[in-house]
């Protein structure tokens, strides 16, 4: 039986593929340079989808992919209805609220927050009962407070370099993030043996 795997384009995806290759799921096609997005290895009975990181959970939730690699940030933002089966231990970073150095929160005012993680941020500020106006961006979020688009941001921080170089300080550190193996709920039932073997082999490699 074929297994379908959604990988996040980029560094995280490459690292995940290396791991899957080690446990017997290599795919020659995927290792060639090009613009293809789907790769099959007849030999190893695996098909890979190379997708935008924030879309991995969509492919897995809808059952197009049986398993995928996604960050906790993506899972929380998309509220993905999938099994979160395994912490890969890499792709580590965290959610944070950040603002320009010296910025002070005046409790009465509605603060403007720019973020890629609009659902996550909405839920967080609702829980805190803070009035905010959320501005959805798709990247380079650190620019927003520097040019007056927002007061602060909610974003992920890895090394902190982007914050530092744009004169932003962390106001609050939120959830820790790492890459996870996620599994489609129906696939887990019907391809249980294959999926359990993948999980076991990955655990052995980590
Ligand atoms: C991510 C994130 C931060 C940065 C954090 O952006 O949104 O901007 O990385 O990393 P650092 O703490 O190591 O500096 P990404 O590189 O994905 O680009 P984007 O701004 O286009 O989303």
**pLDDT tens-digit map of 10-61:** 999 999 999 999 999 999 999 998 999 999 999 999 999 999 999 999 999 9
Q: Determine the pLDDT at residue 1.
A: 85
Instruction: Evaluate: CB of 159 within 6 angstroms of ligand 1.
Output: yes
Q: Where are the alpha helices (DSSP H) in 23-141?
A: 28-31, 56-61, 72-78, 118-128
User: What one-character DSSP code corresponds to residue 54?
Assistant: G
pLDDT at 106 over 80: no
Q: Indicate if ligand 1 lies below 6 Å from the C-beta of 157.
A: yes
- What pLDDT digit, counting tens, does each position of 154-199 carry? 999 999 999 999 999 999 999 999 999 999 999 999 999 999 999 9
Q: Is 155 in the pocket of ligand 1 (CB under 6 A)?
A: yes
pLDDT in tens, 57-104: 999 999 999 999 999 999 999 999 999 999 999 999 999 999 999 998
pTM for the whole structure = 0.94
* Exposure string for 21-57, b = 16+ CB within 10 A, e = fewer: eebebbbeebeeeeeeeebbbeebebbbbbbebbbbb
pLDDT over 90 at 105, yes or no: no
Tell me which fold the domain 3-91+178-205 belongs to: D-Maltodextrin-Binding Protein; domain 2 (3.40.190)
CATH pick for 93-177 out of 3.40.190.10, 3.30.470.160, 3.40.47.10, 3.30.429.10? 3.40.190.10
Kindly report the CA angle at 66 between 63 and 69, in degrees rounded to 5?
A: 110
Ligand 1 in reach of 142 Cβ (< 6 A): yes
Mutational test site, ligand 1, from 53, 157, 167, max ligand atoms within 8 Å of CB: 157
Question: Under a CB-based contact definition with an 8 Å cutoff, are residues 162 and 143 in contact?
Answer: no
The mean pLDDT of 117-125, rounded to a whole number, is: 97
């Amino acid at each position: 039986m074929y297994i379908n795997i959604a990988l996040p384009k980029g560094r995280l995806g490459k690292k995940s593929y290396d791991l899957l290759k080690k446990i017997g799921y290599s795919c020659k096609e995927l290792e060639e340079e090009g613009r293809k997005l789907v790769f099959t290895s007849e030999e190893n009975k695996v098909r890979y989808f190379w997708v935008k990181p924030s879309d991995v959970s969509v492919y897995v939730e809808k059952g197009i992919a049986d398993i995928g690699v996604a960050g906790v940030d993506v899972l929380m933002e998309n509220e993905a209805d999938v099994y979160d089966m395994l912490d890969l231990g890499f792709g580590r970073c965290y959610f944070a609220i950040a603002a320009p150095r010296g910025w002070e929160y005046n409790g009465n005012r509605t603060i403007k927050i720019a973020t890629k993680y609009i659902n996550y941020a909405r839920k967080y500020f609702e829980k805190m009962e803070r009035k905010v106006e959320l501005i959805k961006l798709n990247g380079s979020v650190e620019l927003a407070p520097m040019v007056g688009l927002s007061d602060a941001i909610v974003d992920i921080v890895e090394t902190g370099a982007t914050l530092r170089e744009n004169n932003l300080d962390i106001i609050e550190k939120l959830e820790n993030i790492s890459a996870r193996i996620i599994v489609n709920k129906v696939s887990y039932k019907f391809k249980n043996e294959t999926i359990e073997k993948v999980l076991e082999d990955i655990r052995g490699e980590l």
